[in-house]
Amino acid sequence: MPFTATDPIKIIIAILLPPLGVFFEVGLKWQFWINIILTLLGYIPGIIHALYIIFKR
C-alpha cells in the first residue's frame, strides 16, 4: 500500500503511545491487544510492533 498523508501522524503517535498508533491503523483487532501486552512488558517492543504494523499496511 502506498505511503499516505496520515502516515507521518500515525508514526509520531506510535512512538508516543504505541497502542494508539496500532488502534488508528487496525482498530480493535488482535494486533492492538498484542501491542498493549508488548507495551506493558517493555515500551520499546511496543514501539517496534506499532511501527511494523503501520509500515506493513
For residues 32-44, average pLDDT: 96
* CA dist., res. 38 & res. 25, Å (int): 17
19, 35 contact by CB (below 8 A): yes
For residues 26-47, average pLDDT: 96
Exposure letters 9-37 (e unless 16+ CB within 10 A, then b) = ebeebbeeebbbbbbbbbeeeebbeebee
pLDDT value at residue 22: 95
pLDDT value at residue 1: 63
Pure H helices in the chain = 7-16, 18-26, 30-41, 43-56
The domain limits of the chain are 7-56
Say how many Å lie between the first and final Cα of the chain, rounded.
6
pLDDT value at residue 19: 96
* pTM of the complete model: 0.88
